[in-house]
Amino acid sequence: MCGITARVGDDDAVDTLLTGLANLEYRGYDSAGLAMENGDGLEVYKREGDLSSLRDAIDAERAEGHIGIGHTRWSTHGAPTNENAHPHTDCTNQVAVVHNGIIENHATLREELTARGHTFTSETDTEVVPHVMEEFLEEGASVESAFRDTISMLSGSFAVAVLVEETGELYATRKGSPLVLGVGENEYFLASDAPAFLEFTDQVVYLEDGDVVRASAEDHHITDANGDPVDRPVQSIDWSPEDAEKGGYDHYMKKEIHEQPTALAQTVRGRVEDGHTGATFEAFSRGEFSDVKQVQFLACGTSYHAALYAQQLLAQRGVPAQVFRAGEYATNPAPLGDDTLVVGVTQSGETADTLGSLRHASDAGARTLAVTNVVGSTAARECDDAVFIRAGPEIGVAATKTFSSQVATLGLLAEQIARDREEANHEEYTSGQSAFLEGVSTLSENVQWLLEGNDVENLVDRYRDADAYFFIGRGVMHPVAKEGALKFKEITYEHAEGFAAGELKHGPLALVTPDTPVFALFSGENDEKTLNNVKEVQARGAPVIGVTATDASEVVDTVDDVLEIPPTHPALAGVAANVQLQLISYHMADRLNRAIDKPRNLAKSVTVE
């Protein structure tokens, strides 16, 4: 977690650093800080709270400098205070450090450093780094070797950027946490994620674990952990700066909900064969998955729900699949072999739990595949293969458009896996799939239709004083019910739970009262069973909002309110239903004045286990 940024150039770095921090705030927003070289040594500014407090402090001091490092924090070690905010410095104030990740041996290092006379001013794990480096510099080491020697003493996962006074150079490295280098004209950037500097350059170098970067205004050098030069290509990013801005919307979340038609069109483009006869991926040739006997999905949060959805799509095509919460996988691993395809579903490609479980599967001999939104992310680089969902940058902490694009991508992947297996077994390619592929191709326009006619705001007023909110669904609507509840609790802070519709009577029904609205999701398949569950909750006085196509007349006549979705293939109805639930969550959170894009206690990219 946390966002780090750094910039060196031949003009003032303060504004570019603050822009970088603003663009990284989704990674953490409980405190922020900057360190700059101003010609007279290092100046450090740190403030708890969001970036505006830091901005005010910097404006008041009229801070400036052509080289600096910055940080926006999501607390792991120590409360969000000025003292615990990064950058952290050594006893002599000549070394400043920003860090994302966890330094596991910090307690031992701190004890040893304290015994040797160092004074610590924060509770963070990070603060050991400048003090260790201080010792190496005092022994006469060059800045680069002091940095290398310091890094070699750290265990854990980290991305670290360091500024040492009067050097005019930035030093940085990564091990298990993201870090990219931006290459501008007479300027370089370092950041946890490329949107930090997208306004200034679209040229980026994706760093590998163990790489050490040294950058000045004139050039950069990358070496591996042994100090040997490594060649990392400079690549162009095709995300525009506008993609990462709010574009007139009040919140990123709202913008990203409304971007779903475009995102879905990008996701699907070129991947459905003419006549809807099959799915095709740029990374794979026909027969690529002939040997796959089973699929295991590893994911967290919203991506986990997309994986649950995909499991059902694979099952419908006769492919055995299991879904694991990535954080649990290494503790309780499932048997796998070299005929198991392990798919890590991760928007960011940087979620520590997902990366850890993918590494575990890879070590056990499985083939790994990343399904991610971020080209150059750790998951994309570490897995055997990667498929990109092409949703464009998602800044709001609540995942929205990426769920839709994940489901569409995974649906197409399920098609290719099923066909490859069927062809290998000399079976006839299952008929009837063209309707599914046609459905995938029309998802974009269906969601567009839904967004144009949307009217959830009245519903929000009607139900805003409820005690709790329940979401129920069957088949593909079950993961959507869980996703709807996750979104609702994440941004409204109200209690919400998602259940398999038939499961209510086995316990949760005890919670149902006239003050617990129930959102019931209908796909067009097994609707009569879900309708029975609706009647069970209505008998306990709960109002029911049906999310359904309006041609399901019995559903429409039974429920108390309707959120309409367009008629579509039943296996894909969950995508549209989920968009309705995103809108409900968004408008409820807006009514309740919540921090929609940056909900309390959370961060977009969770890079700690």
Q: Which residues contact ligand M6R (rule: CB under 6 A)?
A: 300-303, 346-348, 351, 354, 397-399, 486, 490, 605-606
What three-state secondary structure class fits 176?
Answer: strand
**Which CB atom, from 30 or from 490, has the smaller least distance to ligand M6R?**
490
Q: How far is the CB of 147 from ligand M6R (least distance, A)?
A: 30
Using alpha carbons, select from 491, 496, 486 the residue that is nearest to residue 597.
Answer: 491
**Which CB atom, from 398 or from 437, has the smaller least distance to ligand M6R?**
398
**Which CB atom, from 34 or from 399, has the smaller least distance to ligand M6R?**
399
Contact 244, 277 (CB under 8 A): no
The C-alpha atoms of residue 25 and residue 5 are separated, in whole angstroms, by: 11
Structure tokens at 195: 């949107």
What three-state secondary structure class fits 249?
Answer: coil
Q: How far is the CB of 368 from ligand M6R (least distance, A)?
A: 15
Strands 340-346 and 367-372: parallel
Name, in order, each residue with C-beta under 8 angstroms of 231's C-beta and a sequence gap of 6 or more.
222
Residue owning tokens 């072999």: 337
**Which CB atom, from 421 or from 594, has the smaller least distance to ligand M6R?**
594
* Catalytic residue (one of 401, 489, 598, 604): 604
> What is the secondary structure of 310-339 as a DSSP string?
HHHHHHHTT--EEEEEHHHHTTSPPP--TT
Name, in order, each residue with C-beta under 8 angstroms of 521's C-beta and a sequence gap of 6 or more.
471, 472, 473, 477, 480, 481, 484, 530, 547, 548, 574, 577
**Which CB atom, from 294 or from 348, has the smaller least distance to ligand M6R?**
348
Q: How far is the CB of 566 from ligand M6R (least distance, A)?
A: 24
Q: How far is the CB of 344 from ligand M6R (least distance, A)?
A: 8
**Which CB atom, from 16 or from 404, has the smaller least distance to ligand M6R?**
404
Structure tokens at 298: 């590893």
**Which CB atom, from 13 or from 295, has the smaller least distance to ligand M6R?**
295
**DSSP-assigned beta bridge partners for residue 220:** 215
**Which CB atom, from 204 or from 355, has the smaller least distance to ligand M6R?**
355
* Catalytic residue (one of 2, 175, 254, 489): 2
In the chain, the amino acid numbered 416 is Q
Q: How far is the CB of 542 from ligand M6R (least distance, A)?
A: 26
Q: Please, what's the b/e burial string for 189-218 (b: 16 or more CB within 10 A of its CB; e: otherwise)? A: bbbbbbbbbbbbbbbbbbbbbebbbbbbbe
**Residue with nearest beta carbon to ligand M6R:** 301
The C-alpha atoms of residue 20 and residue 195 are separated, in whole angstroms, by: 8
Strands 518-521 and 220-223: unpaired
Q: How far is the CB of 360 from ligand M6R (least distance, A)?
A: 16
* Known active-site residue 535: no
The span from the first CA to the last CA of the chain, in angstroms, equals 10
What three-state secondary structure class fits 58?
Answer: helix
Contact 103, 154 (CB under 8 A): yes
Using alpha carbons, select from 402, 293, 277, 279 the residue that is nearest to residue 340.
Answer: 293
**Which CB atom, from 358 or from 504, has the smaller least distance to ligand M6R?**
358
The C-alpha atoms of residue 549 and residue 524 are separated, in whole angstroms, by: 8
* Known active-site residue 383: no
The C-alpha atoms of residue 141 and residue 144 are separated, in whole angstroms, by: 8
CA distances from 473 to 404, 491, 554, 558 (A): 17, 21, 16, 16
Q: How far is the CB of 298 from ligand M6R (least distance, A)?
A: 10
**Which CB atom, from 483 or from 536, has the smaller least distance to ligand M6R?**
483
Q: How far is the CB of 587 from ligand M6R (least distance, A)?
A: 16
Structure tokens at 238: 């095709």
Q: Does residue 87 have a cis bond before it (omega within 30 degrees)?
A: yes
Phi, psi torsion values for 90, nearest 5 degrees: -85, -175
Phi, psi torsion values for 244, nearest 5 degrees: -100, 15
Q: How far is the CB of 292 from ligand M6R (least distance, A)?
A: 23
Element (H, E) at 261: helix 260-268
The set of catalytic residues is 2, 604
